[in-house]
Amino acid sequence: MDKTAKYFDHWANIGRSEDMEKGHGTTVNKFLSKISFEKKFSFLDIGCGNGWVVKKIAQLDTCTRSVGIDKSKNMIRKAKKTKISTKEQYYTTDLESSKFSAKFDVIFSMESLYYSVPMEPALHKVYKLLKNGGIFYCGTDFYKDNHLTTRWIKDMKIPMDLRSESEWKKMFKEVGFKTRIKHVTDPKNKTKWKREFGTLFLIGIK
């Protein structure tokens, strides 16, 4: 087991998966609420944690399949225990090792891509897993411009790939995505960086 999987197995055991859901909930829900899901679509969440986004998406009538992957077996165990829809599927795997026979219309990732060091091979895998015209929504609070979160590397002591906003955007474009960026802040949050910098979302269209 690698250090990252072990770290998040521990977080699952001590209830931090619920903390992550609560901590990311405002900006993620605000972001997702602006997305139109009018046509039928399949969905993949990379680094799904306890599966809260997978469950949310599975409840949409147009969702045909909602899949979550996480390298933490304890996170996946939690996700499976709280399944509310037959559309939900969960797998213990990292992105690079994942093997799906079908491609997805929508792929989502919140605070997970940068645990692949470097990120380029993982991003190429995302591109490969998307259907033509598919969209990758990638959220991160951990980027150089948001200097108050850069200390996470020292705090967590696991591999993390730190890039600036411009470096993220360049990486997406070099993989082949048509890319745009959106910042989503949480003005009422007590944490300064959530109010001022917020979550950086990269939207990549294949």
CATH number at residue 133: 3.40.50.150
pTM of the model: 0.95
* Total structural domains within the chain: 1
* Nearest-10 Cα torsion for 204, 122, 166, 47: 80
Euclidean distance between the first and final Cα of the chain, in Å? 33
List, run by run, the mean pLDDT of 10-residue segments along the chain (206 residues). Answer: 89 81 84 94 97 97 98 96 96 95 97 97 98 98 94 95 98 98 91 89 98
Cα gap 205→37, rounded to integer Å: 15
Query: Which of 123, 128, 98, 99 is CA-nearest to residue 112?
Result: 123
Domain of residue 87, residue span: 3-205
Residues 6+ apart with CB under 8 A from 80: 51, 90
Which pLDDT belongs to residue 1? 62
Question: 55, 84 in Cβ contact below 8 A?
Answer: yes
